[in-house]
Amino acid sequence: MEALKLPAIDYGALSPMLILFGFACLGVLVEALTPRRSRHAVQLGLSFVAIIASFVAVIVEHNTQKITIGGAVAVDGPTLFLQGAILALGAVSLMLIGERSMEKGGAFVSQAAVTVGSQKDLRQAGEQPGATEVYPLTLFALGGMLLFVSANDLLTMFVALEVFSLPLYLLCALARRRRLLSQEAALKYFLLGSYASAFFLFGVALIYGFSGGISLGAVHDAVANPQRSEVLLYAGLAMVAIGLLFKAALAPFHVWTPDVYQGAPTPITALMAACTKVAAFGALLRVLYVSFEGVRWDFQPVLGVIAVLTMLVGAVLAVTQTDMKRLLAYSSVANAGYLLVGVLALNEQGLSSTMFYLVAYGFSVLAAFGIITLVRDADGEATHLSRWAGLGRKSPLFAGTFTFILLAFAGIPLTSGFTAKFAVFGAAVEGGQTWLVIFGVISSMLLAFPYLRVVVLLWLSEPGETTPTVSIPGFLTSAALTIGVIATFALGVVPAPLIDLTRDAAQFVR
């Protein structure tokens, strides 16, 4: 009897993911076996070592172009670039997650099972160290994101989607303060995310019925030479797209975003705004560019309408917000629309400009949420806009930094926001999607209003009696802010090195 032949596995190509998953499992053992008082330092150190080692593995594999594990994982230019981006942004997010100096115990609850409002809950909020389970959960989420952007078949993509989503659902519920709001956000995210995952999986089943396979290459071949009813193809593509558009926070699948961004601990909000967006658009790029390029004329107008709706919804609703985290949530929705404009260029320039935009926006939004963690009163973070009035007079350095980040979001020249928008809009024009660029410019003008309103509030309003203080950032938060601001400025002034890197990486392997 012939022995079963297993598919060849290139462990070097898989090493970035294996390292993160291995260290995440080690972190679980640390939780079980080490004293509580020493866990924070150990877990934080292990997490940084894991991310650095994984990033080094990505660099080592930078010339790899192959499909491994029997076609389940593709390691190519976009995979390695997006994995590097997730790890770099994840490292900065980890700095915000690991900060403990501004509030004793940090941003996370000590024991998630403690009843909200009880005496034990009040004691843990003021005295006890925060949960250290956040570190292995973060590593699991980042590892799932690395697998998500490299998945070469739809079932592997679904597994990766669940691997990085489930830790995020838990992390959203672990806020030290405003715990009911945090738990509500986590429940909304979990329920809506479950529906989106179900749509994705049902879409995979329909596409399998159409193509007879689940690998992206098999779907591409079936699209080029259809043998079965195309109703299965279009219904499956629509359902898979719903799952991906949900994770990317594109309208009308964005409704979870403001509530989750507001309720989750701010470092976790930063992680989702930066890294989850990279993972979601990385998977969307691979699915559309590799599998469904043959029906581009069918899905391009539909997704174009979704891009326009997303940009307008994000811009208009951002104007009405009175909470800083919700404002940035709708800003994130609008930016997802700009990213989709780059995706729909469906050319090499569109691929490279979208990857550039993901990195540029990621560093800027991490800096923005890092600043939000500094504005505090006795009850924790003060996120209502009225509380920020006059902060420019009390802390000019803080206000100047935040103003610079807001101008980057608005797309002002000499910032990464301008360069990124110019890149995706240029790619869209080259790809024949000028109508999307027109709506993009209009929505950018609308979106500038809430940013400028905050700038006016910071500098031209009088501080009130309830105006909070700006905390002195700890080392980790200072490092995160410094990296975010430098990246935002550098990618606006000298973007050529990163643009060249994205162009060199803009080639999928089939």
Please answer whether residues 402 and 462 qualify as being in contact, where contact means their C-beta atoms are separated by less than 8 angstroms.
no
186-191 long-range CB contacts below 8 Å, 24 or more apart?
Answer: 186/260, 186/263, 186/264, 188/256, 188/259, 188/260, 189/256, 189/260
Burial classification of residue 119, based on how many CB atoms lie within 10 Å of its CB (0-12 exposed, 13-18 middle, 19 or more buried): exposed
Could you report the per-residue pLDDT of 228-283, keeping only the tens digit for each? Answer: 888 999 999 999 999 999 999 998 999 999 999 999 999 999 999 999 999 999 99
Could you report the per-residue pLDDT of 388-416, keeping only the tens digit for each? Answer: 888 888 889 999 999 999 999 999 999 99
Sorting pLDDT into bands at 50, 70 and 90, what band is 452?
Answer: very high
What pLDDT does 5 receive? Answer: 60
Sorting pLDDT into bands at 50, 70 and 90, what band is 126?
Answer: low
How much is the mean pLDDT over the chain? Answer: 90
Sorting pLDDT into bands at 50, 70 and 90, what band is 27?
Answer: very high
Beta bridge partners of 68: 73
More confident residue, 173 or 128: 173
Could you report the per-residue pLDDT of 319-359, keeping only the tens digit for each? Answer: 999 999 999 999 999 999 999 999 999 999 999 999 999 99
Backbone angles phi, psi at 312, to 5 degrees: -70, -45
The mean per-residue pLDDT over the stretch 31-43 comes to 86
DSSP string for residues in 176-192? SSSHHHHHHHHHHHHHH
Within the chain, how many helices (H) and strands (E) appear? Answer: 21, 5
Please answer whether residues 98 and 271 qualify as being in contact, where contact means their C-beta atoms are separated by less than 8 angstroms.
no
How many other C-beta atoms are found inside a 10 Å radius of the C-beta of residue 348? 16
How many other C-beta atoms are found inside a 10 Å radius of the C-beta of residue 279? 30
Sorting pLDDT into bands at 50, 70 and 90, what band is 125?
Answer: low
What pLDDT does 428 receive? Answer: 95
Residue 12 pLDDT > 90: no
Which whole-number Å values give the CA distances from 55 to 50, 89, 338, in the listed order?
9, 11, 28
Residue 120 pLDDT > 80: no
Residue 2 pLDDT > 60: no
Integer-rounded Cα Rg, in Å, for the chain is: 22
Separation CA 13–CA 2 (nearest Å) = 29
- Both tokens of 364, joined, read 């800027």
- Both tokens of 342, joined, read 């780059």
Among 492, 455, 485, 490, CA closest to 367: 485
* CA-CA-CA-CA dihedral for 70, 74, 80, 81, to nearest 10: -160
- Both tokens of 148, joined, read 């998500």
Could you report the per-residue pLDDT of 481-502, keeping only the tens digit for each? Answer: 999 999 999 999 999 999 999 9
Which whole-number Å values give the CA distances from 229 to 153, 226, 237, 495, in the listed order?
21, 8, 13, 46
Sorting pLDDT into bands at 50, 70 and 90, what band is 15?
Answer: very high
Host H or E run for residue 23: helix 11-33
Which whole-number Å values give the CA distances from 249 to 257, 306, 309, 351, 381, in the listed order?
7, 11, 12, 19, 25
Beta bridge partners of 381: 376
